[in-house]
């Protein structure tokens, strides 16, 4: 099964990097959609179904905090698992985002396998290799 | 925080970020001579929290191309100046986050967007710590200015 992924980050370079890591992860990736902030991501999610969202926190227009709150308050979008990918490693921030409903939290810098493990965990995938 | 400790934090953070996200390692780390780096890209940002301050990096164009190529998975010859700038900004963001999380493990910090060529990208005359890292190509300078430390 191929998974559709939405990458939300204001940095085009980071979006490209995450895309590359997904390609290297061994996961079968279907469509890989991108958005530069939470508001743009909501528009993408209204138009296309994705299996998992990877989002930064520190973004202009709508940050990751408001983005996760908005998704989790929306009946249609709330089932989509969200994984936060952020430079912020503080326990308070991790707890805050998990309390909001994030399904995983990956801190930058990260190893490719760390992101893969977080996605597998969020999707409930059992690796067969 | 003592300068030696901050030096070590910046050194360890830089090595960690370069190794895990850029697939390269610093060859050497030293206190810069004070001579301005020519043909380079500088990016900086403000951080708010306890303590507040500024963080910045300056990469020689050789280093910026190497880092952008590694990060984006492209050839160094094919990366554009814009891509170099975007990657240098992302590196500044990640390095700052890594340094702050080592300085204050449980403090919430707010980081501004890294910017190139703005006042926050210029290294202050007396930063709290400033280190230069020799890379496979060119060099990378990173500095931290912690308001509380002054």
Q: Which chain B residue is nearest to residue A87, measuring alpha carbons?
A: B97
How many folded domains does chain B comprise? 1
Rounded Cα gap, residues B103 and B52, in angstroms: 12
Picking from B50, B76, B79, B92, the residue whose alpha carbon sits closest to that of residue B138 is B76
Place of tokens 């926190």: A57
Q: Tokens for A35, please give them.
A: 């958005």
Facing residue for A89 by CB, picked from B21, B101, B110: B101
Low-confidence ranges of chain B (pLDDT < 50): 149-150
Picking from B24, B69, B16, B21, the residue whose alpha carbon sits closest to that of residue A21 is B21
In this prediction the ipTM stands at: 0.81
Is the separation of the CB atoms in A97 and A64 below 8 Å? yes
- The boundaries of the domain holding residue A41 are 3-123
Residue A44 lies in a domain: yes
> Where residue B86 sits, what CATH number does that domain have?
3.40.1550.10
DSSP state of A118: H
Selected for mutation to probe chain B from A7, A108, A112 (highest B CB count within 10 Å) is A108
Confidence of residue A126 (pLDDT cuts 50, 70, 90): low
> Where residue A97 sits, what CATH number does that domain have?
3.40.50.2300
Residue A40 lies in a domain: yes
A116 or A70, higher pLDDT:
A70
- The boundaries of the domain holding residue B70 are 3-149
Q: Length of chain B in residues, anyone? A: 150
Residue A128 lies in a domain: no
pLDDT 10s digits, A37-92: 999 999 999 999 999 999 999 899 999 999 999 999 999 999 999 999 998 888 88
CA-based nearest distance B128→chain A, Å: 21
Residue A58 lies in a domain: yes
How many folded domains does chain A comprise? 1
Other C-beta atoms lying within 10 Å of the C-beta of residue B113: 17
Picking from B5, B28, B11, the residue whose alpha carbon sits closest to that of residue B98 is B11
The number of C-alpha atoms within 13 Å of B59 and in the hemisphere containing its C-beta is: 27
């Amino acid at each position: 099964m191929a998974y559709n992924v939405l990458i939300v980050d204001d940095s085009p370079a980071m979006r490209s990097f995450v895309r590359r890591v997904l390609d290297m992860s061994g996961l079968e990736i279907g469509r890989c959609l991108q958005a530069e902030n939470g508001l743009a991501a909501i528009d993408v999610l209204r138009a296309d179904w994705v299996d998992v969202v990877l989002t930064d926190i520190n973004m202009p227009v709508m940050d990751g905090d408001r983005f996760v709150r908005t998704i989790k308050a929306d009946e249609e979008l709330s089932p989509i698992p969200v994984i936060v990918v952020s430079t912020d490693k503080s326990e308070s921030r991790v707890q805050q985002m998990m309390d909001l409903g994030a399904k995983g939290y990956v801190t930058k810098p990260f190893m490719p396998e760390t992101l893969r493990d977080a996605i597998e965990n969020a999707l409930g995938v059992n690796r067969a290799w | 925080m003592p300068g030696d400790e901050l030096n070590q934090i910046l050194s360890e953070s830089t090595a960690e970020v370069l190794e895990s996200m850029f697939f390269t390692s610093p060859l050497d780390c030293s206190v810069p001579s004070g001579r301005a780096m020519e043909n380079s890209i500088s990016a900086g940002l403000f951080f708010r929290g306890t303590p507040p301050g500024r963080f910045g990096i300056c990469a020689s164009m050789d280093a910026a191309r190497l880092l952008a190529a590694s990060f984006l998975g492209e050839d160094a010859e094919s990366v554009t100046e814009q891509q170099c700038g975007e990657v240098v900004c992302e590196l500044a963001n990640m390095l700052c986050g890594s340094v702050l999380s080592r300085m204050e493990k449980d403090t919430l910090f707010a980081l501004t967007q890294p910017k190139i060529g703005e006042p926050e990208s210029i290294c202050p005359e007396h930063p709290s710590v400033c280190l230069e890292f020799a890379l496979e190509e060119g060099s990378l300078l990173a500095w931290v200015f912690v308001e509380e430390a002054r």
